[in-house]
Amino acid sequence: ARTFNVPDCALYNMAKAKHIKGARKGKGTKGNKGKGMKAMAKLRMKKKQQEQQAQREGPSRIEGALEYLSKWSRRDEEEVDWKFNKVKQATLLRFWPDRQKVPSDVFSQQLLPYLKSLPETGLERTIAQARAIVENASAS
């Protein structure tokens, strides 16, 4: 099975043109029908997966999670309207070890108190994740 790279528009256009060309010549028989469409569908699926991956790890998602954390740390103030958000919490729990995404000062001043406030299961998972990171670092 050949995989297509989404940014390579030439392959996409070739697959599209081949399908249309075959249909015009009356070659849309059972053995030939849909081969170009399958390639186009694979390209669309690959592009969608890349967009979803970029959205999951994109800077706007991290920035939103850090803003959520900042509001959480100031939640007792009257002006701050903090509301629990599972997606932003999951983003924080996923990227907390990465100091490029979660700076050290935010980690120590805001994230640690937030992690301490987690329910027991979430806290246990985070501790297990931290232990795994330490084990991997000491093994290297």
The two structure tokens encoding residue 44? 């669309």
Tell me the pLDDT of the chain averaged across its residues: 81
pLDDT at 114: 96
pLDDT at 3 over 80: no
pLDDT at 117: 94
First to last CA, the chain: 37
Task: Report how far residue 56's alpha carbon sits from residue 61's, in angstroms, rounded to the nearest whole number.
Answer: 7
Top-confidence residue, 31 or 66:
66
Q: Per-residue pLDDT tens for 57-68?
A: 667 889 999 999
Which H or E run includes 36?
helix 35-57
Report phi then psi at 34, rounded to 5. Answer: 85, 0
pLDDT at 59: 72
Q: Per-residue pLDDT tens for 91-131?
A: 999 999 999 999 999 999 999 999 999 999 989 999 999 99
Q: What is the DSSP string of 72-94?
A: HHTTTSSS------HHHHHHHHH
pLDDT at 14 over 70: no
Top-confidence residue, 58 or 46:
46
